[in-house]
């Protein structure tokens, strides 16, 4: 309820304002910091994210541009279980068995093209955006024994507000949903190539959620928006 009231208030403030914040044929650059939270089935822990947006205003209502988001997080260890054997190797590979949860850091880069629709106000401009691109997941080379990466298509959609501080600068808050296509959770398993993944006592260990071919992520970021060059169209 509090979030809905805040959003309605922001729209009301924008609707009662006059004048445009951004002239046509003008570039803006936004640096962002925040957090990204993957859906539970993705087996990824929440992570910090940094981003950079570059946008060209086709009009005061519509802009086109690029987005880059970079995050470094960790896999959810409780979802990846492996079995280690110790002791006398002549006894079925070892006479002592130890179960271990395993995890690893994951670097993710998401690149995309996006369109932005805004309602320009004098001080506040709410906006919605959507885009398509590609994401690249890069795993730790030491843990995997080699350079390991995976990429596929990503879709982004969201909205937020731009709060004007001056003719060239402003703050931006936005929420985005980023969906990774062709997602393979087993790719994140540090022990995926081992034969000791057999789990003879499943009732003794929690079962992770069913794997999916997509991964939906929710991103919250706060940014600093800047209009380089002179104020006015065509500059």
pLDDT tens, residue by residue, 98-124: 788 889 999 999 999 999 999 988 899
Mean pLDDT of the chain: 84
Segments making up each domain of the chain, as ranges: 2-78+104-187+208-226
pLDDT of 212 strictly over 90: yes
pLDDT of 164 strictly over 50: yes
pLDDT of 95 strictly over 60: yes
Confidence label for 14 from pLDDT (cuts 50, 70 and 90):
very low
Backbone φ, ψ for residue 142 (5° rounding): -70, -40
**Lowest-pLDDT range of 5-9, 13-17, 38-42, 48-52:** 13-17
| Domain covering 2-78+104-187+208-226, topology | Porin (2.40.160)
pTM of the model: 0.81
Alpha carbon separation from 40 to 34, 57, 95, 187, 204 (Å, rounded): 19, 37, 36, 16, 21
Tell me how far apart the terminal alpha carbons of the chain are, to the nearest angstrom.
43
């Amino acid at each position: 309820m509090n979030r809905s009231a805040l959003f309605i208030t922001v729209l009301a403030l924008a609707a009662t304002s006059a004048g445009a914040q951004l002239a046509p044929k003008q570039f803006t650059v936004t640096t962002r910091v925040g957090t990204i939270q993957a859906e539970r089935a993705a087996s990824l822990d929440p992570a910090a994210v940094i981003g950079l947006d570059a946008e060209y205003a086709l009009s005061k209502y519509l802009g086109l541009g690029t987005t880059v988001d970079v995050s470094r997080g960790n896999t959810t260890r409780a979802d990846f279980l492996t079995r280690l054997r110790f002791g006398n190797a002549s006894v079925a590979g070892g006479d002592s068995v130890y179960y271990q949860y395993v995890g690893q850091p994951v670097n993710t880069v998401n690149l995309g093209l996006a369109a932005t629709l805004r309602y320009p106000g004098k001080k506040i401009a709410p906006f919605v955006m959507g885009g398509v691109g590609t994401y690249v997941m890069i795993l730790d080379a030491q843990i995997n024994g080699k350079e390991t990466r995976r990429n596929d298509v990503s879709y982004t959609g969201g909205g937020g507000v731009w709060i004007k501080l001056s003719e060239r600068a402003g703050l931006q808050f936005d929420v985005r949903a980023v969906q990774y296509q062709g997602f393979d959770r087993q790719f994140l398993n540090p022990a995926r190539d081992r034969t000791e993944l057999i789990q003879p006592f499943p009732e003794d260990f929690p079962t992770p959620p069913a794997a999916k071919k997509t991964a939906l992520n929710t991103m919250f970021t706060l940014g600093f928006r800047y209009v380089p060059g002179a104020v006015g169209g065509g500059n």
